[in-house]
């Protein structure tokens, strides 16, 4: 008979501690290799003083090693963004006009900042850019120079490695990101110790031509860098404290949102609560990398974290956002539910008139299609005529000046009574609800109200779900 193996003796408590201690160096290495992408927006880089704040933030956490920068933004509300001035340079050059009205202020701004930061090379870099603009450089090349010059300057100031996005971010000729290629190129470029600075907003197509993302696109670059480097968090440093539970122009001092899921953020941002470029979420969301919106002017505040999942048991509602400027194309017809193709033909009528739709809540015999006022403006009679002729409804009308308000929260679909509280709060404040739509994602309830009731409705919902801070 084969003797069975003796069961392994469990280690004595002292040995167990030794095992833990032996693993600590590995833990240290792990902590050292964890890194953060920190992207700073234009107002965080608007002058030398702001750039010094940025440098302090970077130095205060050694994990902040992958830095993505915008071009200098506005110092005051009446100031000009460098990117806007660069677009102006292009249009002046294109018309054969002198570019100095736009390039002069760019030069002055960069030279002033560089002098304060002690970066001597700026005059030479500017001269090269000026020459190429005069030589007829194309619009994306010119627009990208704000990020390029700023990042070279700040990299020099920080003693960091500058990586030109043109060499590491690959875009197709139509401007779309070639993701797999980009992640590989960037991961290679970001290998090694130390600090790296990557300019936001642009990349290059396979033939080396610079391509810009849409405006505000440095947020996208930040997400791409975080994803390529496999960073533990994507910090997006801006000039606001993060997302708020409601619009501060409507609700006094609304509560900041500490944590929100990617899905909730998307719903809130569609309704106008934007702090981030829409496309910036996708690269990090796919990899489950959280985004942390932070305020450069208040770096000790935790900001808003955008994450995959959150514990929604305490705050079923994440936020409330809304917009005015919608119309409701409403029809009712007895036995609509039994009529094959009614909904499709209704949407086709709008499609043929070049009108996109936002929501289409239906009941057995009614259908509402919510569209934007500006898309249907001037076409109301044509649409009404098409509907009368093709669908023969019992009633059709178009109501404009509608506001939509989304109450958003992951916990809402699982929590009994949320809808009742929402409608009750609106009822109590005398707001008439014109439309209700609980999105298929079940993380929001959208109500349509008259634009004149919009602010009152937002305050009523906020008061119902958010306890005073
Ligand atoms: N500088 C660019 C813009 O003004 C890109 C960015 O800042 O994200 O749109």
Identify which of 41, 42, 145 to mutate to test ligand 1's pocket (most ligand atoms within 8 A of the CB): 42
In ligand 1, the atom with minimum distance to the C-alpha of 219 is 8
Is 151 within the bounds of a domain? yes
Is 57 within the bounds of a domain? no
Q: Evaluate: CB of 146 within 6 angstroms of ligand 1.
A: yes
Which residues are CB-neighbours of 40 under 8 A, at least 6 positions away? 54, 67, 68, 69, 70, 237, 296
The predicted-structure confidence for 238-267, as pLDDT tens digits, reads as follows 999 899 999 999 999 999 999 999 999 999
Q: Whose CA is nearest to atom 6 of ligand 1?
A: 216
* CATH number for the domain harbouring residue 224: 3.40.1160.10
pLDDT (0 to 100) of residue 47 = 97
Phi, psi (rounded to 5 degrees) for 76: -135, 170
Same domain? 202 vs 340: no
- Report the relative pairing of strands 202-204 and 210-212 from DSSP bridges: antiparallel
Is 4 within the bounds of a domain? no
Is 86 within the bounds of a domain? yes
pLDDT (0 to 100) of residue 3 = 42
pLDDT (0 to 100) of residue 173 = 84
Is 56 within the bounds of a domain? no
* CATH number for the domain harbouring residue 410: 3.30.2130.10
Identify which of 201, 213, 239 to mutate to test ligand 1's pocket (most ligand atoms within 8 A of the CB): 201
- Which residues is 9 bridged to in the sheet? none
Q: Count how many domains the chain has.
A: 2
Same domain? 324 vs 425: yes
- How far, in Å, from the CA of 453 to the mean position of ligand 1? 35
Same domain? 198 vs 326: no
- How far, in Å, from the CA of 12 to the mean position of ligand 1? 60
Identify which of 44, 216, 221, 274 to mutate to test ligand 1's pocket (most ligand atoms within 8 A of the CB): 216
How far apart are the C-alpha atoms of 328 and 360, rounded to whole Å? 9
pLDDT at 175 over 90: no
Question: At 18, is the secondary structure helix, strand, or coil?
Answer: helix
Same domain? 340 vs 458: yes
What one-character DSSP code corresponds to residue 414? Answer: G
Same domain? 180 vs 324: no
Among the residues of 82-164, which ranges form H helices?
82-94, 100-117, 122-134, 139-158
In ligand 1, the atom with minimum distance to the C-alpha of 70 is 7
Residue 362: exposed, middle, or buried by beta-carbon count in 10 A (0-12, 13-18, 19+)?
middle
Q: Which residues of 23-40 are buried (b: 16+ CB within 10 A; e: fewer)?
A: eeeeeeeeeeeebbbbbb
Q: Which residues constitute the domain of residue 201? A: 63-233
The predicted-structure confidence for 13-46, as pLDDT tens digits, reads as follows 556 656 655 665 555 555 556 899 999 999 999 9
Residue 195: exposed, middle, or buried by beta-carbon count in 10 A (0-12, 13-18, 19+)?
middle
Q: Evaluate: CB of 222 within 6 angstroms of ligand 1.
A: no
- pTM for this prediction: 0.85
Tell me how many degrees the CA angle 339-343-346 measures, rounded to the nearest 5.
115
Same domain? 214 vs 347: no
Asked which of 173, 202, 233 is the last residue of a domain, the reply is: 233
Q: Whose CA is nearest to atom 8 of ligand 1?
A: 216
> Which band of pLDDT confidence, cut at 50, 70 and 90, is reported for residue 468?
low
Is 382 within the bounds of a domain? yes
Question: At 346, is the secondary structure helix, strand, or coil?
Answer: helix
Kindly report the average pLDDT of the chain as a whole number: 91
Q: Evaluate: CB of 72 within 6 angstroms of ligand 1.
A: no
Instruction: Find the range with the poorest average confidence among 17-26, 84-93, 98-107.
Output: 17-26
Among the residues of 204-333, which ranges form H helices?
218-229, 262-270, 281-287
Structure token pair of residue 361: 């809540």
Same domain? 225 vs 130: yes
Asked which of 179, 208, 233 is the last residue of a domain, the reply is: 233
Is 400 within the bounds of a domain? yes
Same domain? 75 vs 217: yes
Structure token pair of residue 396: 């059709």
Same domain? 222 vs 326: no
Same domain? 227 vs 127: yes
Asked which of 206, 233, 260 is the last residue of a domain, the reply is: 233
Same domain? 72 vs 219: yes
pLDDT at 374 over 90: yes
């Amino acid at each position: 008979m084969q003797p069975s193996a003796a069961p392994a003796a469990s280690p004595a408590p002292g040995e167990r501690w030794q095992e833990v201690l032996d693993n600590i160096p590995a833990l240290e290495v792990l902590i050292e290799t964890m890194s953060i992408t920190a992207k700073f927006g234009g107002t965080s880089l608007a002058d030398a003083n702001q750039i010094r704040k940025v440098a302090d933030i970077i130095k205060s956490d050694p994990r902040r090693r992958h830095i993505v920068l915008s071009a200098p933004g506005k110092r005051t509300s009446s100031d000009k963004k460098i990117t806007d001035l660069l677009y102006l340079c292009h249009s002046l050059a294109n018309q054969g006009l002198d570019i100095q009205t736009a390039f002069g202020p760019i030069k002055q701004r960069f030279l002033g900042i560089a002098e304060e930061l002690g970066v001597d090379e700026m005059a030479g870099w500017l001269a090269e850019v000026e020459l190429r603009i005069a030589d007829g450089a194309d619009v994306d090349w010119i627009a990208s120079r704000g990020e390029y010059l700023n990042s070279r300057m700040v990299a020099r100031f920080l003693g960091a490695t500058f990586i030109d996005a043109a060499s590491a971010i690959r875009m197709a000729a139509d401007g779309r990101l070639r993701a797999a290629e980009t992640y590989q190129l960037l991961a290679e470029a970001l290998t090694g110790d130390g600090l790296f600075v990557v300019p936001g907003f642009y990349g290059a197509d396979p033939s080396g031509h610079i391509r810009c993302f849409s405006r505000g696109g440095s947020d996208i670059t930040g997400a791409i860098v975080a994803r390529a480097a496999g960073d533990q968090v994507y910090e997006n440093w801006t000039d606001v404290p993060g997302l708020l539970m409601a619009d501060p122009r409507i609700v006094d001092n609304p509560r900041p949102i500490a944590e929100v899921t990617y899905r909730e953020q998307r719903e809130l941002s569609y309704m106008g609560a934007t702090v981030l470029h829409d496309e910036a979420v996708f690269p990090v969301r796919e990899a489950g990398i959280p985004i942390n919106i932070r305020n450069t002017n208040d770096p000790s505040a935790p900001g808003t974290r955008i994450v995959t999942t959150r514990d929604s048991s305490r705050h079923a509602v994440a936020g409330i956002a809304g917009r005015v400027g919608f119309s409701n194309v409403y029809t009712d017809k007895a036995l609509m539910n039994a009529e094959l193709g009614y909904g499709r033909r209704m949407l086709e009528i709008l499609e043929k008139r070049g009108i996109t739709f936002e929501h289409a809540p239906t009941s057995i015999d009614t259908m509402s299609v919510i569209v934007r006022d500006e898309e249907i403006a001037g076409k109301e009679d044509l649409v009404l005529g098409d509907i009368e002729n093709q669908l023969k409804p019992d009633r059709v009308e178009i109501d404009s000046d509608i506001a939509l308000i989304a109450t958003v929260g992951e916990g809402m679909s699982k929590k009994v009574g949320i809808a009742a509280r929402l409608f009750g709060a609106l009822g109590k404040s005398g707001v008439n609800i014109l439309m209700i739509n609980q999105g298929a994602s079940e993380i929001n309830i959208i109500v349509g109200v008259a634009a004149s009731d919009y602010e009152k409705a937002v305050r009523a919902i906020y008061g119902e779900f958010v306890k005073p801070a």
